């Protein structure tokens, strides 16, 4: 199987590195292109056998699966580059939420899928959110998921919920890291503990909490209940957190969804000349 990546920025190169490190793909199965060619070339130079191409059409040549790892507003240009060369048996995979399956199916005759990865896939962890176009047969879905399984847990989702599931799975690492950073900074400020030490302890705590939630079979509410002894220290601090963060995640979700609608409107104008409503 040959796999292409158009766009070797943060996510394109992260996926390539994870697929290679996990043994899912060897460099000789991979072709890359990027708007700034030296960036694609620099990546290919690190992996003997990887093919760096000057054009997106060149990267698509001979690929069974082609990941499109560019930003939403760059999609139309990439699709225009690929339209004349893609064959019906090739599969393209968009990794961004505001580009709809219908946008891609309207332009391309090949198989179309959307997979929203997460930075957690770099350490072969977290989910990859899968949405399939009409021409994806069961064997195509199985082939794609077999690849994704090396670095993630593939989850099929309804396209209408793409944004909220992306918030949880793909933006979540940034949100949780932000909260952790605030916790660590406060610890340094309030007590004088070394930042490195505080961060090491907090990171180990986050990993352990994640394991309790996944492998340990506990819910977030159960963890709180077990840690917060009635009348104890944690209970008092949890009360403060409930009071102070009340509604903040509702606002956060409204913010991501408003930005999503903005991007979707622009992408829709680029693809079909009019806006469409979306989640």
Ligand X SMILES: O=C(O)[C@@H]1CCC=N1
Ligand Y SMILES: NC(=O)C1=CN([C@@H]2O[C@H](COP(=O)(O)OP(=O)(O)OC[C@H]3O[C@@H](n4cnc5c(N)ncnc54)[C@H](O)[C@@H]3O)[C@@H](O)[C@H]2O)C=CC1
Residue 120 interaction partner, one of ligand X, ligand Y, none, beta carbon < 5-8 Å per kind: none
Residue 257 interaction partner, one of ligand X, ligand Y, none, beta carbon < 5-8 Å per kind: none
The residues, any chain, with a CB within 8 Å of residue 258's CB and separated by 6 or more, are: none
By CB under 6 A, name the one of 20, 24, 63, 78 that touches ligand Y.
Answer: 78
Strands (E), 107-255: 111-116, 127-132, 153-156
By CB under 6 A, name the one of 29, 94, 96, 120 that touches ligand X.
Answer: 96
Least distance from C-beta 93 to ligand Y, angstroms? 11
Q: Does 8 bind ligand Y (CB under 6 A)?
A: yes
Asked if 133 contacts 103 with a C-beta cutoff of 8 angstroms, the reply is no
Contact pattern for ligand X over residues 108 through 127, marking x by CB under 6 A: --------x-----------
Least distance from C-beta 116 to ligand X, angstroms? 6
Least distance from C-beta 110 to ligand Y, angstroms? 17
Where is 263: in which H helix or E strand? helix 248-272
Within 14-33, which residues bind ligand Y (CB under 6 A)?
Answer: 33
According to DSSP, the residues that pair with 171 across neighbouring strands are none
Residue 29 interaction partner, one of ligand Y, ligand X, none, beta carbon < 5-8 Å per kind: none
By CB under 6 A, name the one of 33, 56, 94, 170 that touches ligand X.
Answer: 170
Q: Does 34 bind ligand Y (CB under 6 A)?
A: yes
Which one, 35 or 266, has the nearer CB to ligand Y? 35
For 23, list phi and psi in degrees, rounded to 5: 85, 5
End-to-end CA distance of the chain: 35
DSSP string, 14-75: HHHHHHHHTTS--GGGEEEE-SSHHHHHHHHHHSTTPEE-SSHHHHHTT-SEEEE-S-GGGH
Asked if 122 contacts 17 with a C-beta cutoff of 8 angstroms, the reply is yes
Residue nearest ligand X (C-beta atom): 170
By CB under 6 A, name the one of 26, 28, 54, 71 that touches ligand Y.
Answer: 71
Bridge pairing between strands 111-116 and 30-33 = unpaired
Residues that bind ligand X (CB under 6 A): 96-97, 116, 166, 170-171
């Amino acid at each position: 199987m040959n796999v292409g990546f158009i766009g070797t920025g943060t996510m394109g190169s992260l996926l390539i590195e994870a697929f290679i490190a996990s043994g899912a793909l060897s460099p000789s199965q991979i072709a890359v292109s990027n708007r700034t060619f030296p960036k694609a070339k620099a990546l290919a130079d690190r992996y003997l056998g990887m093919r760096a191409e000057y054009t997106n059409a060149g990267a698509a040549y001979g690929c069974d699966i082609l990941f499109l790892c560019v930003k939403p507003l760059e999609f139309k240009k990439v699709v225009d580059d690929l339209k004349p060369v893609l064959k019906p048996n090739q599969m393209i995979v968009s990794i961004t939420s505001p580009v709809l399956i219908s946008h891609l199916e309207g332009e391309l005759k090949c198989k179309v899928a959307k997979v929203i990865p997460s930075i957690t896939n770099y350490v072969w962890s977290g989910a990859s959110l899968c949405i399939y176009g009409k021409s994806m047969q069961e064997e195509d879905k199985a082939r794609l998921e077999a690849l994704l399984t090396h670095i993630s847990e593939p989850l099929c989702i309804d396209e209408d919920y793409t944004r909220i599931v992306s918030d949880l799975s793909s933006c979540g690492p940034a949100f949780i890291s932000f909260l952790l950073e605030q916790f660590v900074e406060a610890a340094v400020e309030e007590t004088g503990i070394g930042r490195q030490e505080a961060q090491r302890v907090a990171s180990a705590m986050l990993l352990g909490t994640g394991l309790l939630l996944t492998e340990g079979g506990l819910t977030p509410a159960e963890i709180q209940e077990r840690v917060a002894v009635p009348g104890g220290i944690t209970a008092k601090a949890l009360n403060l957190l409930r009071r102070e963060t009340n509604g903040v995640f509702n606002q956060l979700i409204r913010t991501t969804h408003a930005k999503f609608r903005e991007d979707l409107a622009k992408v829709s104008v680029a693809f079909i000349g009019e806006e469409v409503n979306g989640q």
